[in-house]
Amino acid sequence: MIQNLPAHSPPPGYGRVVLKLSGESLCEANGFGIDGNELQVIAGEVAAAVKEGGQVAVVVGGGNIIRGATLAAEGHIDQAVADQMGMLGTVINGLALKEGLESLGQPARVLSALAVSSVAEPFIRGRAIRHLEKGRVVIFVGGTGNPFCTTDSAASLRAAEINADVLLKATKVDGVYDKDPKRHGDAVRFETLSFDEAIARDLDIMDTGSFAQCRERDIPILVFDMKKPGNIAAAVRGEKIGTVVGAALPPAAG
């Protein structure tokens, strides 16, 4: 006799996420390059997030290696070339993060928008999704592969391409404020914001193109403090941390 078994509820939190990390997350405050201790901390936080049962992809910046925008602004290097140099910096960071993850037993793959086949796989949408389904962290490097695009743009693009449930924007503050909380003691933190509100207020979260892309694809953005231990895993679980732009949080456990 076949029994009617109760339907299983989906796990709480987000099923597939894109985590946007700055290059500076891999070095000490006001530092440069890659600090081994900071690398292991970030790798540990990402590995712990995978254990929550979600699929985790990472877009990493390159500002700790080189700031192409600064070079271009100083007039020393054409902006297109400076941006390409910055994209190569993200490859260095992605390789470091992969090694940090795998040293903890968490499989990871680096997929690049730039042709660097001797050190990373090319970005192919289906391949990225397959890696995620196999429990590997996918690290997207090389930006979008084009100059004049920020790594925020790469994060929103990849989130749309892999059908991510949310874009996690890891920052140095615990959410989005109406003004700089470091300079204004009366700054107010938002718990939620619509995309239109965030754009109208000109809040310094992501570039306008990234907001527009997430709004078009209905991908919420969760802005949170990456330095608080356990916060990346908490974000994947859908806990009420930081500020959600564009949509409500998913149901949490409990």
Binding site feature residues for UMP: 62, 83, 144-151
Three-class SS state of 149: coil
Q: Are 18 and 57 in contact (CB under 8 A)?
A: yes
| Residue 86 CB burial class (10 angstroms; 0-12, 13-18, ≥19) | buried
How far is residue 200's CA from residue 217's CA, in Å, rounded to a whole number?
A: 19
**What residues contact 118, with CB distance under 8 A and at least 6 apart?**
none
Dist. CA 48–CA 227, nearest whole Å: 14
- Residues contributing to the annotated binding site for ATP: 20-23, 63, 67, 171, 177, 180
Contact 114, 88 (CB under 8 A): yes
Longest dimension (CA), the chain: 78
Going by the annotation, the residues of the binding site are 20-23, 62-63, 67, 83, 144-151, 171, 177, 180
- Residues 92 and 198: their CA atoms lie apart, in Å, by 32
Write down how long the chain is. 254
